[in-house]
A and B are shown apart, each in its own frame.
Chain A
């Protein structure tokens, strides 16, 4: 299936891009992150959160074709 991944803030700089669309066999955000971390210079998953289609989801959420996945570094608003 194809998913789109968007990167923000520190992760955008680690990944060296704002977004990418990729073909993957990853069933969950956890598997997808592991796959991407093998290709890009991404930090450990600890402390990150994940959103699928603009909703916070758990790391074992089942991904579907066309999903937009965003890995969320620790927030620092205010």
Chain B
């Protein structure tokens, strides 16, 4: 299994953490992004994620490689969901195992920020009323 995965079924953080097992790493930092029941002042009932899988996996792997190189961390993994998600369900999970906490926190932060900016994944919000909308979360790079 590669370190960046797209998952069509529920992400189970405990299972993901187990894959970071590394005797040389004293620090493990994980981040779980979950579906929120509101966005920009509007109630949200569920989310739908879609991805361009071939490019999402190669770009996701590139982000993880950059994190390893920049922060010198041991293991880095990321899983992103696609499909229909209910409120509270994990949408993305990032985990880093490193020698010490500084680089583990920094690498985890870097990975989630870059994934949100660069990996071709899109989400559509559903509301109690009115049509669902594709969310344009990332402004153009030159903005």
Q: Which residues of A contact B (CB under 8 A)?
A: 6, 8-10, 13, 46-47, 51, 54-56, 70, 72-78
Q: Is the C-beta of B5 less than 8 angstroms from some C-beta in chain A?
A: no
How far is A46 from B139 in the complex, measured between Cα atoms in Å?
11
Chain B interface extent, by class: 20 to 34
Q: Which residues of A sit under 8 angstroms from B55, Cβ to Cβ? A: 51, 54-56, 70, 72
Also in contact, A9 and B122, with CB within 8 A (given A74-B136, A74-B138, A76-B135):
yes
How far is A55 from B62 in the complex, measured between Cα atoms in Å?
12
Q: Pick 24 A–B contacts, CB within 8 A, sort by A.
A: A6-B52, A8-B120, A9-B50, A9-B122, A47-B140, A51-B55, A56-B55, A74-B136, A74-B138, A75-B117, A75-B118, A75-B120, A75-B122, A75-B138, A76-B116, A76-B121, A76-B137, A76-B138, A77-B49, A77-B121, A78-B91, A78-B92, A78-B115, A78-B137
Q: Is the C-beta of B119 less than 8 angstroms from some C-beta in chain A?
A: yes
Closest residue of chain B to A7 (Cβ to Cβ) is B52
Q: Is the C-beta of B109 less than 8 angstroms from some C-beta in chain A?
A: no
Q: Mark B105-143, 1 if CB is under 8 A from A, else 0.
A: 000000010011111111110000000001111111000
Closest residue of chain B to A6 (Cβ to Cβ) is B52
Q: Is the CB of A75 within 8 A of B137?
A: yes
Q: Is the CB of B116 within 8 A of A77?
A: yes
How far is A76 from B136 in the complex, measured between Cα atoms in Å?
6
Distance in Å from the Cβ of B105 to the closest Cβ of chain A? 17
Q: Is the C-beta of B58 less than 8 angstroms from some C-beta in chain A?
A: yes
Q: Which residues of A sit under 8 angstroms from B52, Cβ to Cβ? A: 6, 8, 51, 70, 72
10 cross-chain pairs, A with B, having the tightest CB-CB distances, nearest first:
A77-B121, A9-B122, A76-B137, A78-B116, A10-B134, A54-B54, A47-B140, A76-B135, A74-B136, A76-B123
